Amino acid sequence: MATMPNSTTATNPPIEIPPIVAVLVGIFTVVEGEFQVLLIQRSAAPDEGKWAIPGGGLQPDESLDHAATRKLAEETGVTDVFLEQLYTFGDLDDQTSRGSVAVVYFALVDHDRVRLPERTAWQPDWFGMGDLPVLALHNERVLDVARQRIINKLQYTNAAYSLLPAFFSLTDLQSVYESILGRRLDKRNFRRRMLASDLLVETKQTATMGRHRPARLYRFAARQPVEF
């Protein structure tokens, strides 16, 4: 004779609610020797009124890379820049009972190419990395990780191409490095290292730099990620 399950002991398996998945894009540039990041002022809870890294939810059937590229285009109008996945954080939003996962990317952009969207809510603005406002959702941790990753990238890739126009002087290039590293570099050693890397191509163009003699302009051999 079959035994019926005891209704007082039988239980249904708990319903697992997947965590909220967001894709964030830290967008960085250099303006007049200052390393800056693009932030959005939040217009809704949590942390309404505070500033945060641009981001949003992952859309149905959307890949992480596509979501990051979409968000980058929405906030800057450009996509053909250095964009790379940084890190996955599982504890930035501690105000939701569901749990959250933030997949963070970072992008490097030439400030002159960026066109910020005009909107009344969720307004964007640039901030110096040394003068940040009050940040939402523990975003200061994200920016710390991003800055260190970018510093490391400068040591063995041509990532700086994404921060400069098509043609630039070696002084322009050194200024970008110094802005991100936060320290001065020896001019002679920097130029020797960059010219020996095969990342740069000397052009016939020059540019006048104040009262100094015209400076030779260079271009990157490839405007896409390359390691050296």
- Quick one: average pLDDT of 154-172? 96
Please report whether residue 117 resides in a domain: yes
Please report whether residue 11 resides in a domain: no
- Quick one: average pLDDT of 42-46? 94
Q: Two tokens at 119?
A: 């909107």
> Which among 135, 154, 173 is the end of a domain?
154
Tell which residue, 180, 146, 163, 183, has the closest CA to residue 76: 163
Q: Same domain for 124 and 181?
A: no
Contact 46, 9 (CB under 8 A): no
pLDDT digits (tens, 9 = 90+) for 181-219: 999 999 999 999 999 999 999 999 998 876 678 899 999
Mutual orientation of helices 170-181 and 187-196 as an angle, nearest 10°?
110
Strand pairing category for 215-220 and 168-169: antiparallel
Residue 16: its pLDDT value, please? 62
Please report whether residue 7 resides in a domain: no
Q: Same domain for 58 and 167?
A: no
Residue 19: its pLDDT value, please? 67
Residue 66: its pLDDT value, please? 97
Exposed / middle / buried, residue 80 (Cβ in 10 Å: 0-12, 13-18, 19+): exposed
CATH number of the domain that residue 83 is part of: 3.90.79.10
Please report whether residue 14 resides in a domain: no
| H-run or E-run covering 202 | strand 200-207
Q: Same domain for 102 and 205?
A: no
- Quick one: average pLDDT of 41-67? 95
Residue 58 lies in domain: 20-154
Contact 128, 30 (CB under 8 A): no
Longest Cα separation, the chain? 103
Single-letter residue type at 195? L
User: For 53, phi and psi rounded to 5 degrees?
Assistant: -70, 140
Beta bridge partners of 202: 218
User: pLDDT higher for 86 or 94?
Assistant: 86
Please report whether residue 74 resides in a domain: yes
Say whether pTM exceeds 0.95: no
Q: Same domain for 103 and 183?
A: no
- Quick one: average pLDDT of 70-87? 97
Residue 208: its pLDDT value, please? 80
What is the band of 64 on the pLDDT scale with cuts at 50, 70, 90? very high
- Quick one: average pLDDT of 143-168? 97
What is the band of 82 on the pLDDT scale with cuts at 50, 70, 90? very high
Average pLDDT, the chain: 91
Domain count of the fold of the chain: 2
Residue 183: its pLDDT value, please? 97
User: What percent of the chain shows pLDDT beyond 70?
Assistant: 88
Please report whether residue 4 resides in a domain: no
pLDDT digits (tens, 9 = 90+) for 91-147: 888 775 466 899 999 999 999 999 999 999 999 999 999 999 999 999 999 999 999
Residue 188: its pLDDT value, please? 97
CATH number of the domain that residue 185 is part of: 1.10.10.10
- Quick one: average pLDDT of 8-37? 82
Residue 13: its pLDDT value, please? 66
Contacts of 156 (CB under 8 A, 6+ apart): 227, 228
What is the band of 17 on the pLDDT scale with cuts at 50, 70, 90? low
